[in-house]
Structure 1
């Protein structure tokens, strides 16, 4: 499969997405919510595995008050995969979507790898961001060794560490191999483990191994935003599941310590996905935070 190809099982998918050319690459984009409302652009996690489906489900709950933009990143889901899959390019694509929406500023949001890209965007385009919402993410690649330790220590499943290492360092051979490796680590993600759900998730995932390999073999080894995070001046909400194995609470705490105007909320009954596992509490937490950011500054102190 070439870099430009879409995984065959998703090429003909029926979708409500618009096809929008951003920086010479066609993206699958959906826009939810009323015209004229503040715009939230969300970035999904797991390049080559993630898609707009998760942020559509989680941030789509806010589409009564906000204009929510969800999209498949370059090389993921149903989007074209031309060019490079660098953080610089993905951040430029976010800004291209902002321009396409016709707005000067946005609320930036993302979970997991989408959190990486949210912080990248806020650092690279600081004048374009009014607030940021992060979920289960990390400021650097330091979470990688923590995740490996947690996988080895898991009492839930015995992980095939050869497959773990291949997906972790971006050396999967093709989409089928990415699927097999993904199946291996999926049981680690949830707070309440349901073995029957693993295969459903495996079958629902769009596999794009080129973007995955580039992200994990090229982008992440040098990924470290800690020196730049103190420059992030916008209100930032950081959410994380207490039992997150891949981006543990300590990673979110580091972000909170570095971004001056930030607050950290830990969800006690969640793994990597409090937006699913504690859906009502997570959604109300995000909504309340965003409401405060829209009030006059003297009415909306952010407590640390």
Structure 2
């Protein structure tokens, strides 16, 4: 379905029982990501939770009215919370979706029941680490010009974004499968304007480290041991800064433990949220 939020049509799906606690899951990679990944990963919890997944403004099938700022994307999450009628939500996000989950929790702390983060970072320092990891990779030899264009938000059009995406995709998984890379290239929705804005304007100024100690919501932080783009050290920093947090590292995963160790990751999230629910007032 399409829902108008803050003057922009968003592609939204809602899974699970109407009277269950609401979990809003955010995809990563603005301009490349879509609701497909959180639907697959958090949809597994729809037996217990009311799971809302959506294409963010400017991504997937959603309308692309600017601005593509963290303020706007967080405000869109708040608009979805109001639309679904939940006093509080569990907010969940992976990769860039984790940036927005933290930004939302900082701006609307009274609305967050719990937070689940996956393979994300509290600032833009991961860019330096990921570049080092890409250039020293023994798996593939990365085209530096394509790496620079996608990292700096200078891709020329959707075709160029696709080719730059193909260049770095082999770095993501614990086990490299060229066929899976090509499948992902073929199924990704490309929105280069959104990607360029996020990487040229948002990321260079992104740093929420000073605000994370103020968060009081229970927080689960998950990360793959060989994540090249938001390495384990980034999650360790988040865990050190958020007081009521827990870090779990998945030893046989890269950037996507929700896929590469799906059963273990899902059990970990489910157990964490069950603990949160048990601590809620009757």
TM-score by length of 1: 0.92
Residue in 1 aligned with 2:96? Answer: 113
Q: Quick one: which of 2, 18, 25 aligns to 1:42? A: 25
Give the deviation of 1:198 after TM superposition.
1.1
Distance (Å, rounded) in 1 between the aligned partners of 2:66 and 2:266: 35
Distance (Å, rounded) in 2 between the aligned partners of 1:115 and 1:75: 17
Distance (Å, rounded) in 2 between the aligned partners of 1:258 and 1:65: 30
Residue in 2 aligned with 1:194? Answer: 177
Residue in 2 aligned with 1:182? Answer: 165
The runs of at least 4 consecutive aligned structure 1 residues that moved more than 3 Å come to none
Give the deviation of 1:159 after TM superposition.
0.3
Distance (Å, rounded) in 2 between the aligned partners of 1:121 and 1:247: 20
Equivalent residues in 2 for 1:55-204, closer than 5 Å = 55-204=38-187
SS at match of 1:295: helix
Distance (Å, rounded) in 2 between the aligned partners of 1:148 and 1:282: 27
Distance (Å, rounded) in 2 between the aligned partners of 1:215 and 1:57: 24
Q: Does 1:279 align with 2:268?
A: no
Q: Quick one: which of 212, 216, 226 aligns to 2:199? A: 216
Give the deviation of 1:83 after TM superposition.
2.2
Residue in 1 aligned with 2:226? Answer: 243
SS at match of 1:37: coil
TM-score by length of 2: 0.99
Compared CA separation, residues 165 and 78, structure 1 to 2 (3 A): same
Alpha-carbon deviations, 1:200-233, whole Å to 9, x = none? Answer: 1000000000110000001000100000000010
Give structure 1 stretches of 5+ with no counterpart: 1-17, 299-304
Distance (Å, rounded) in 2 between the aligned partners of 1:193 and 1:83: 36
Give structure 2 stretches of 5+ with no counterpart: none
Q: Does 1:52 align with 2:35?
A: yes
**How many aligned residue pairs are there?**
281
